[in-house]
Chain A
Amino acid sequence: MRRETVQGWLLILPALLLLVAFTHWPAATTIIDSFYTTPKGSRPPRFVGFENYADLMTDPVFWTALRNNAVYALWTIPASVILALVMALAVNTAIPGRALVRMAYFTPTMLPMIAVANIWLFFFTPDYGLFDHVLGFFGGVRHNWLGDRDTALPAMIVVAVWKEAGFFMIFYLAALQAMPPDLKECAALEGSSRWNFFRRVTLPLLMPTTLFVLVNAVINAFRLVDHVVVMTRGGPDNATTLLLYYIYEAGFRFWDQALAATLTVVLLALLGLLAWLQFGVLGKRVHYR
Chain B
Amino acid sequence: MNQIDQAPSGTTGAAVRLHGVSRHWGPVAALDAISLEVKAGTFCVLLGPSGCGKTTCLRIVAGLEQASGGVVEIGGRDVTHLPPAARGVAMVFQSYALFPHLNVAENIVFGLKARSVPPADRKRRLDRAVEILGIGHLLARRPGQLSGGQQQRVALGRAIVAEAPVCLMDEPLSNLDAQLRADMRREILALQRRLGITMLYVTHDQTEAMGMADQVVLLRDGHIEQDAPPAEVYATPATSFAASFIGTPPMNLLALSESGVIPGTVGPVLGPARTGLIAGIRPEALRLADRGIPARVTHAEYLGADTVVVCRAGDDQTLLVRLPGRANLADGARVKFDFDPAELHLFDAGTGRRLTT
Interface residues of B in 65-122 (CB under 8 A from A): 83-85, 89-91, 93, 95, 97, 99-101, 110-111, 114-115
Q: B62 an interface residue at 8 Å Cβ cutoff?
A: yes
B89 cross-chain contacts in A, Cβ below 8 A: 189
Stretch from A40-48, A177-185, A257-265 forming part of the interface with B: A177-185
A 202-236 to B, binary, CB cutoff 8 A, 1 in contact else 0: 00110100000000000000000000000000000
Give the distance in Å from the alpha carbon of A153 to the alpha carbon of B12 in the complex: 66
On whether A191 and B114 interact (CB within 8 A), knowing A185-B93, A186-B93, A289-B144, the answer reads yes
The answer to the question of A187 belonging to the interface, with a C-beta cut-off of 8 Å to chain B, is yes
Cα of A289 to Cα of B91 in the assembled complex, Å: 24
Q: CA–CA, A116 to B306, complex, Å?
A: 78
* Contact (A196, B91) CB under 8 Å given A185-B97, A188-B64, A289-B144: no
Contacting pair A182 B114 (CB below 8 A): no
Asked if B62 and A189 make an inter-chain contact with CB atoms under 8 angstroms apart, the answer reads yes
A193 to B, closest residue via Cβ: B114
Question: Closest B-chain residue to A196, C-beta based?
Answer: B114
The residues of A that contact B162 with a CB separation of less than 8 Å are: 190
Q: Verify if B158 is at the interface (C-beta below 8 Å from A).
A: yes
Q: Which residue of A182, A188, A189, A204 has the most chain B CB atoms within 10 A of its CB atom?
A: A189
Cβ-neighbour of B64 out of A189, A191, A287 (below 8 A): A189
Most buried by A among B63, B85, B95, B101: B101
Contact A187 B114 (CB under 8 A): yes
A200 to B142, CA, bound (A): 15
Give a binary string over B311-331; 1 marks a CB under 8 Å from any A CB, 0 the rest.
000000000000000000000
Report yes or no: B84 in contact with A188, Cβ–Cβ below 8 A: yes
A196 — which chain B residues lie within 8 A by C-beta? 114
**Candidate in B99, B115, B162 with the most chain A CB atoms within 10 angstroms:** B99
State whether B110 touches A190 (Cβ < 8 A): yes
**What is the distance, in angstroms, from A255's C-beta to the closest C-beta of chain B?**
54
B3-15 CB mask vs A (1 if < 8 Å, else 0) is 0000000000000
- Evaluate contact between A190 and B101: CB separation under 8 angstroms: no
Count of B residues near A, CB < 8 Å? 23
Q: Which residue of B lies closest to A188 (CB)?
A: B84
B84:A205 contact, CB within 8 angstroms: no
List chain B residues, Cβ under 8 A from A193.
114
User: How far apart are A234's CB and chain B's nearest CB, in angstroms?
Assistant: 45
A174 within 8 A of B: no
Determine how close the nearest CB of chain B comes to the CB of A57; give it in whole angstroms.
45
Among the listed B62, B97, B100, B111, which residue makes an inter-chain contact with A192, where contact means beta carbons less than 8 Å apart? B111
Q: Is the CB of A190 within 8 A of B93?
A: no
Taking CB atoms, residues of chain A closer than 8 Å to B142 are 287
Cβ–Cβ contact A189 & B100, under 8 A: no
Query: Are A289 and B111 within 8 A (Cβ)?
Result: no
B114 x A192 contact (CB < 8 A):
yes
Residues in chain B near residue A277, CB distance under 8 A = none
Once the chains bind, are A186 and B91 in contact (CB under 8 Å)? Answer: yes
CB distance from A184 to the nearest CB of B (A): 9
Give 1 or 0 for each of B112-139: 1 = CB within 8 Å of chain A CB.
0011000000000000000000000000
Q: Is the CB of B111 within 8 A of A188?
A: no
A201 interfacial by beta-carbon distance below 8 Å: yes
A94 to chain B, nearest CB (A): 14
**Smallest CB separation, A199 vs chain B (Å):** 11
Chain B residues with CB under 8 Å of A201's CB are: 99, 101
- Chain B interface (Cβ within 8 Å of chain A)? 62-64, 83-85, 89-91, 93, 95, 97, 99-101, 110-111, 114-115, 142, 144, 158, 162
18 contacts between A and B (CB under 8 A): A180-B95, A180-B97, A182-B95, A182-B97, A183-B97, A186-B93, A187-B114, A188-B84, A189-B111, A190-B111, A190-B115, A190-B158, A192-B85, A192-B114, A201-B99, A201-B101, A205-B100, A287-B100
Which residues does A use to contact B, with CB under 8 Å? 180, 182-183, 185-193, 196, 200-201, 204-205, 207, 287, 289
- Known: A186-B97, A190-B162, A205-B101; 5 extra A-B contacts, CB below 8 A, are A185-B62, A189-B62, A189-B90, A190-B110, A190-B111
Instruction: Give me the 8 closest cross-chain CB pairs, A-B, nearest first.
Output: A190-B111, A191-B85, A182-B97, A192-B114, A186-B97, A287-B101, A191-B115, A189-B84
